[in-house]
Structure 1
Amino acid sequence: MSESTGSGEQPDETAGRATNVRVDMVEAFATAWGTAAERPPEIAEFLPDAATLRAQALHELIRVDLRQRWLHHTGTDIARKRLIHYCAEFPELDRARLPAGLVFEEFVIRRHSGERIDPRDYLREYPEQAASLRGLLNTDELDQSTHRSDDLDATMNQTPDSTRNTQVTSPHLDLTATATSAATVAHSEPGEFEPLDRIEVGQRIGDFELLTGLGAGAFARVFLARQTSMQRLVAVKISADRGTEPQTLAQLDHDYIVRVFDQRLLDTDSAPSGSRRLRLLYMQFLPGGTLLGLLRWVRETPPAERSGKLLLDAVDTAMAEKGEIRPTDSSVRSEIAALSWPETVAWLGRRLAEALDYAAAHGVLHRDVKPANVLLTAEGVPKLADFNISFSRTVAGTSPVAYFGGSLSYMSPEQLEACHPGLARTAADLDTRSDIFSLGVVLWELLTGAKPFDDSTAEAEGRGDETTLEAMLERRTVGVDPAALDRVPADCPTALRRVLLTCLDPDRSRRWADGAVLAKQFDLCLDARARDLVDPPPKSWRMQWRKWPLLVMILAIGVPNALASWYNIVHNQNLVVSRLSETAQQSFVVITAGVNVVFFPLGAAVLIYLARFVLSVPRGLRHGRRYDPEILRRTRHDTLRIGDRVVIVVFSLWAISGLTFPIALQFAAGDVPSRAVVHFLASLLVCGAIAVAYPFFLVTFYLVRCIYPIFLRHGEISTDDSTWLRALSRRCTWYLAIAASVPLLAVAGVTFLPPGDIPAVIVAVRVLCVGGIFAFVASYLLFRALEADLKALERVVS
């Protein structure tokens, strides 16, 4: 990413680039430490010239430097440094204004390295940060304790609120590596967390030969290892023997969750010299890297050049670094290669949503969904990993607050509130919708190259963790930043944008209810026809006509029936009524008009009643109203069946009219000749076919194309929807046959007329035949469009 900006660049774009520049600096500094031999890299060499960027980057670089000097280069000539040394080295650092999170991180790192430190010393050394540090270090409880050996047990079994208060950390402090609370670290004996750096590549631990490092943190290291007994490559995670990650993962066996094979506890005999209380977790090895690695590729690639091949390139590069061979003849890779970049993001999101749904169904919340915790197979398939701070309701002895942490920039508002010691929310209040929010942040970052919320200002201005949390909460309350919305690629489907914004809704009641619903939404995003139905262009006719369902249905029913009425009047007037006396004609007109005035308004009222949910619920949804799931289910069912109900009501009215005409003739003219009755019945048959076929296709096409997809926007789908859609598709075939019969019935009716009667109706019959042919062609086109729409919708809901 370029550090310079043009004179016309917007401030929010500059801020976004500044954040990326800062991330790149930290990565470059960490890389320099990794290649350092005797002389460590100098922080000053990696700081930018701009004062704003320099201030923002300095704290990040100090964190990396502290970890390297205290944890990864012990036993060397590299000197350990403390924050006071950095303050002396860099004039812009004010000891009184150091973030409490940075001070706390130094404390944790020193304890982890083996030093025995009294937490109260830090309160005396940093009085300006004491208010925040007191909660982080849990010194209130320490002051009240008697320093007996059972204090540690009391700390680990503290009340939910007190446990929650000990978990607040700096936004830069990575909590994912440990499942223990800050208080537990503070009260541990020096030997409790021996340095993991004593475990090195090339060592053999039991059945495992450590081949290369895959990742490292303050409390855990991951290696690529060969399991000699099975002659297979595995990923080995070695960490402190804390938490319930093995028991949690033992419940999870899913295609999109990293499979854990087993765990080993390392004692002093099997572990390297001096290591104690360590756990070895060996799991499925995935050579394709992580979404964090893919994210770097995204940021370095212009939006117009991103596609599914970008994912494959990132995977291939990660595999090449590990000496792995790219798979051939992979249908999955072929599928990914054909996707656009937004579709690739939806493809990844669908699988991760399924993983979250599966975990939630087994009582497990992840609580730290972020790019680094999503691994990729050689085919690019994502797998959710690192359940170190997850919570399982089915593991005995655990509670939501016992293992609480996460990465602040990916946290949901409610999880940030649970981090805040001054707010009432606790970790026990979280549910799967918090993980869905985190997944939304990850996918938005993949889609655009930047997070949906600009937290850089909050981090820079925060004088303590509470201030930072409050600033981050404020940003999430107002929704996604306008600058982030502007970064959405031009080829991003409206459906994907809507789905991700729903994931990121600050009100969790408006987010997707669970991972299964979200997975179906991503399926919709991957189906071009389905997503166009559900999220049409804003100015399309479908969006406009959604507002007028009653008017559209009146026209769809009324116009075909008006044409049928015209044919019926002409046919019977010429063949029967015109041959009556003038008095009889007047009586006939009065009677039939009275019947029509009574029955047809009644039919309209019945139809409006039957369609009441179809007419009212979509309107309410557009205005933000909430409905009971049962009401939504009934409305979806009515929407797919209202065409049949229109047919039943309208045909019933024609049948009543067909019986009324002979009765009216009987009263008007006395005896009714049998020929007249035949004419009425023939006319009824033709008009009934018109009233059945054409309104059905017009009404059903409108409802399937414009109204039914509204419900899919809200994720309200039941297992019955697929059945209803298939049944409607079958019924459409029967109605198409009826539409084809209209011109045939007209011709057949003429053949039964005496030669003398044919001239009287020949014009009406010709119009009916020609119109029937055109109407059939139109019905056939509607049928084909309906067929494609129903199949697309069925793919989404099934």
Structure 2
Amino acid sequence: MSGNPMHAVARFAADWESTLRGDRPEPPPLDRYVPDGRDARLAVLTDLVRVDMRQRWRRAGMEKRIAEYRTEFPEVATSPDFVDLVCEEYVVRSRYRVIDVDAFAVEYPEVAGELRARFAAGDDARRTPPPSLPEGIGTGRRLDDFDLLTDLGGGAHSRMFLARQRSMQRLVAVRVEAGADSDAPTVAQLDHQYIVRVFDQRLIADGSTGKPLRLLYMQYLPGGTAADVLAQRRAQPGPASIAVLGGRLLLRAVDAAMEARGEIRPADSRVRAEIAELSWPETVAWVGRRLAEALEYAERHGVLHHDIRPGNVVFTAEGVPKLADFALGPLSWAGGRPTGRAEDPEALRYRSPEALAVMLDPTAPLPGARGDLYSLGVLLWEMLTGTAPFEDSAGDSGPATVADMLARRRAGVSAAALATLPAETPAALRRVLLECLHPDPDRRWQRGAELAGQLDLCLDPRARDLVDPPRKSLRARMRGWPVPIAVVCVGLPNALASVYNIRLNQSLIVDRLAAADQERFATVALVNNAITFPLAAALLLWLARRPLAVSYRLAHGRHYTAAELARARADTLLMGERAVWIPFAMWLLAGVAWPVALSRSGAALPPNAFGYFFTAQVVCAAIALAYPFFLVTVYALRSLYPQLLARGAVGPDDRRQLLALSRRSNFYLAAAASVPLLGVATATFVAPADLELVIGTVRWLSVGGVLAFALTYQLSRLLEADLRALARAIPQSTTT
């Protein structure tokens, strides 16, 4: 690479951020950013390795070690900073798993002495439990710039307080922790509308004990937590009460929390009015969609949560949820077992199977972003039903309890738990939550953006009914017969066009031919149909192969990558157009090929036969263009496309495709309106003496065309409403 080496690291870091945002499919290749020139190359390469290693170790499955960089770039071993790079690898890895410094040093014998000198004492410290807060940390006390006003809960290692920050004269939430290790600088960079804003941290010494304390102060939200919402949900006398209250149940919990803190409920809030109109399942989806957006944003900035539970979901006065306590971060997994508050048995109920597995086996794979989505699914299920999806036995956080919880989660959601879902729960929300709670991380939603999109879909009645129709409905049953239905949708209008064509040609051309020429006409027709019909059918099946095959295989348990599903969705939306343009072209081609073939076969055709034949073919082509489009497209959109949409990984491209199809459908509606007009227009080309022969056929075409247009118009309105509903349920842009 040539260019200014000063900019290489900055561009590399920016491209990593682009990868996290989803703008790039893969991490940036490091070798493309290394400058030319030995001295500049080595200095910049060292910084590039640091950036790359830090980013990769934050993401499960992408980890990379200094030994690997050394193999790829041998000059790394000659860098003056090589020891520092190896030490940084040790620090990064030890944040995620206990590492014995002696075992690690064996991997780098050339710097083993330096490693032991730097980390021997620290390694023992990592094996000790986190320190507890000193006695006397409570309300009424002043710590540094903060007056602690209200105890908001916590554990032995840390507690949360409502506090007044004297220097700024504002209310903040302060978490007081024993010790000084944290990811606060990273978490403080998170600035998202659904994440509690962390302002900064301060490290102080307790005045009575001299022990270090960390004060992490953040945005204060008065609307309580999801634990308050759960308490309100469980306090309702029965399902009827939940159904009547709907979103007002959430507002009731928020108002109760605000009243307890002496806060005043906001007036004329658009958000509160929106929540009040939602059903309870829709309210749960509304809350979940925002929390999923928060997780997506944090993951793209290299931060996972690892401790999603009711106490870490807080609400504004308007009822908007925000995710708190990202500061726990990857440190919660140091040594395999979560530390501090994460050892609370109550918090274990929200752990993913892979998180519980790490607690039992430190060598098990660490939980990634999909572990957070699992935890969010548990929380949303509990909000929806008032009960947890798994009947965990009471106990502590010992190995036996953890093993029992892990076994229950690997067994999946039981029939008894499914029975607790409210009767008004949309099938789409049921499906989305079960996908969150799948034991296999690869079978869950892969990113927060996917989950947010699916929950958005649950909020649109028309869209969710399209994607998850009742199991015994006609649309659900039609999903199993894509090929026969597509054949009927395409074949019936073309068959009717053939009837019109045969009757018109018989009256104007065939009946006037000599017997030998009529035999030639029949032979040409047979040869033409034997070629064109199979060819058209083969082309149509080839172009529709992906939508038809993918929908069938999905129904039988096959899984596809996000790219394969995206291609199948695009092809499914094109099914209707592909189903009409091939027959359209065949009709027009036949309008030229048949008369030419007849002439070359020796048939004596009347001078006006070419005009009669071609105008009839034009009418048939218009029929083949207009009517099958709406039949095929409505079927594809209502029966095939929703199965692909339900698999997730949808985004702005899908929305643009839906809206583009909506615009293009107007052309086919105009084509349908033109059919009876074309039929009348073709009659003007018929000699006056021959009008009596065709007037009946033209009359039937006109009347049938008007009736067909009325049906087509209704299908176009249905198609338009479906396209708009699905487009509304797809994000307009990636989460920021």
Amino acid of the structure 2 residue aligned with 1:157: D
Tell me the amino acid that sits aligned with residue 252 of structure 1: L
Q: Distance in 2 between matches of 1:531 and 1:193?
A: 49
Counterpart mapping for 1:500-579 below 5 A: 500-579=433-512
Name the residue aligned to 1:265.
203
Q: Give 1:668 deviation, angstroms.
A: 6.0
Q: What letter corresponds to residue 183 of structure 1 in structure 2?
A: T
Residue deviations 1:322-349 (CA, integer Å, cap 9, x gap): 1111011111111100000000000010
| CA displacement at 1:725 relative to structure 2 | 1.4
Task: Tell me by how many angstroms 1:202 deviates.
Answer: 2.8
Give the CA deviation at 1:753: 2.5
Distance between the aligned counterparts of 2:456 and 2:195, measured in 1? 19
Structure 2 match to 1:444: 381
Partners of 2:504 and 2:187 lie apart in 1 by 77
Distance 2:434 2:137 in 1: 44
What is aligned with 1:276? 211
Quick one: distance in 2 between partners of 1:293 and 1:281? 23
Can you list the C-alpha shifts for 1:68-107, whole angstroms capped at 9, x where unaligned?
xxxxxxxxxxxxxxxxxxxxxxxxxxxxxxxxxxxxxxxx
Residue of structure 1 in register with 2:370 after alignment: 433
Match of 1:157 among 99, 123, 132: 123
Structure 1 residue 467: deviation in Å?
2.0
2:132, 2:158 within 8 Å by CA — same for their partners in 1?
no
Aligned to 2:667: 734
Shift of 1:640: 1.1
- The DSSP-based 3-state class of the residue aligned with 1:506 is coil
User: d(CA) in 2 for partners of 1:284 and 1:424?
Assistant: 37
Q: Give 1:435's aligned amino acid.
A: D
Query: Is 1:297 the equivalent of 2:228?
Result: no
Q: Does 2:641 align with 1:708?
A: yes
Please state if 1:254 is matched with 2:220: no
User: How does 1:137-286 map onto structure 2 within 5 Å?
Assistant: 154=120, 156-157=122-123, 183-185=128-130, 193-196=132-135, 198-268=136-206, 271=207, 273-274=208-209, 276-286=211-221
Say if 2:705 is the partner of 1:768: no
Which of structures 1 and 2 has the bigger CA Rg? 1
1:311 and 2:244 are equivalent in the alignment: no
How far residue 571 of structure 1 moved from its aligned partner, in angstroms, is 0.7
| Contact persistence 2:352–2:371 (CA under 8 A) | yes
2:588 to 633, 642, 655: 655
The alignment status of 1:413 with 2:413, answered yes or no, reads: no
CA shift, 1:724, in A, is 1.7
- Describe the shift of the 1:299–1:193 C-alpha distance in structure 2 as closer, same or farther (beyond 3 A): closer
Classify the secondary structure of the residue corresponding to 1:244: coil
**What is the alpha-carbon distance in structure 1 between the residues aligned to residue 632 and residue 720 of structure 2?**
15
**Match for 2:286: what amino acid?**
W
Instruction: Please report how far the alpha carbon of residue 181 of structure 1 lies from its aligned counterpart in structure 2 after TM superposition.
Output: 6.7
3-state SS in 2 of match to 1:280: strand
SS at match of 1:757: helix
**Counterpart contact for 2:145–2:165, Cα < 8 Å:** yes
Name the SS of the counterpart of 1:779 in structure 2: helix
What is the aligned length? 610
Aligned position for 2:93: none
- The AA in structure 2 aligned to 1:202 is G
- Whether contact under 8 Å (2:175, 2:217) holds in the other structure is yes
In the aligned structure 2, how far is the partner of 1:184 from the partner of 1:200? 22
Distance 1:243 1:205 in 2: 19
Cα distance in 1 for residues equivalent to 2:305 and 2:662: 41
Deviation at 1:448, TM superposition (A): 0.3
**SS of match in other structure, 1:674:** coil
Query: Contact 2:163–2:173 (CA<8 Å) still a contact in 1?
Result: yes
* Pairing partner for 1:467 from 370, 375, 400: 400
Unmatched tracts of structure 2, length 5 or more: 1-97, 102-115
Deviations 1:16-45 (A, max 9, x none): xxxxxxxxxxxxxxxxxxxxxxxxxxxxxx
**C-alpha separation between the residues in 2 aligned to 1:295 and 1:156?**
42
Distance 1:155 1:299, change over 3 A: farther
Identity %: 51
Deviation, 1:308, is: 0.2
Within the candidate set 629, 633, 653, 2:562 is matched to: 629
2:578 to 634, 637, 645: 645
Decide which moves more: 578-587 or 732-741. Answer: 578-587
Amino acid at match of 1:516: A
Task: Name the structure 2 match of 1:53.
Answer: none
CA contact (8 A) 2:587 2:618 kept: no
The answer as to whether partners of 1:742 and 1:772 remain within 8 angstroms in 2 is yes
Question: Could you tell me how far 1:622 is from its partner in structure 2?
Answer: 1.2
Which shifted more, 562-571 or 749-758?
749-758
Where does 1:352-501 land on structure 2 (aligned, <5 Å)? 352-391=291-330, 401=336, 404=339, 405=342, 407-421=347-361, 424-426=363-365, 429-456=366-393, 459=394, 465-501=398-434
Equivalent-residue separation in structure 1 for 2:337 and 2:121 (angstroms): 11
Q: 1:343 to 1:718 in 2, by over 3 A?
A: closer
Kindly provide the CA deviation profile for residues 246-271 of structure 1, in whole angstroms up to 9, marking residues without a partner as x. 22321211111111112222225xx4
Tell me the residue number matched to 1:680: 613
Q: Which moved more, 1:575-584 or 1:331-340?
A: 575-584
2:629 to 687, 696, 715: 696
**Counterpart code for 1:445:** E
Letter aligned with residue 243 of structure 1: D
CA-to-aligned-CA distance 1:83-135 (integer Å, 9 cap, x gap): xxxxxxxxxxxxxxxxxxxxxxxxxxxxxxxxxxxxxxxxxxxxxxxxxxxxx
- Residue 402 of structure 1 deviates from its aligned partner by 8.8
Name the CA distance, whole Å, in 2 between partners of 1:303 and 1:152. Answer: 61
Q: Give the conservation status (yes or no) of the 8 Å contact 2:382–2:389.
A: yes
- Partners of 2:694 and 2:220 in 1: CA distance: 82
Q: Which amino acid aligns with 2:160?
A: V
When structure 1 is superposed on structure 2, of 583-592 and 728-737 the one drifting more is: 583-592
What residue is the counterpart of 1:17 in the other structure? none
Of 588, 597, 600, 2:530 maps to 597
Q: Distance in 2 between matches of 1:724 and 1:742?
A: 28
Taking the aligned partners of 2:183 and 2:597, their CA distance within structure 1 comes to 84
Matches of 1:785 and 1:439 in 2, distance apart? 36
Distance 2:335 2:296 in 1: 18
| Residue number in structure 2 paired with 1:342 | 281
- Quote the residue 1:287 is aligned against: 222
| Structure 1: gaps of 5 or more residues | 1-137, 142-149, 159-179, 186-191
Partner Cα separation in structure 1 for residue 549 and residue 684 of structure 2: 48
Counterpart AA for 1:713: A
Task: Output the CA distance in 2 between the equivalents of 1:181 and 1:403.
Answer: 13
SS in 1 for 2:688: coil
Q: What is the CA–CA distance in structure 1 between the aligned matches of 2:158 and 2:117, rounded to whole Å?
A: 25
Counterpart among 785, 791, 794 of residue 718 in structure 2: 785
**Residue 494 of structure 1, CA deviation:** 0.3
Give the conservation status (yes or no) of the 8 Å contact 2:544–2:571: yes
Whether contact under 8 Å (2:248, 2:276) holds in the other structure is yes
CA contact (8 A) 2:337 2:358 kept: no
For the aligned residue pairs, the C-alpha RMSD in angstroms reads: 2.5
* Distance in 1 of aligned mates of 2:533 and 2:154: 77
Partner SS state of residue 365, structure 1: coil
Aligned with 1:328: secondary structure? coil
* AA at the equivalent of 1:228: R
Whether contact under 8 Å (1:545, 1:706) holds in the other structure is yes
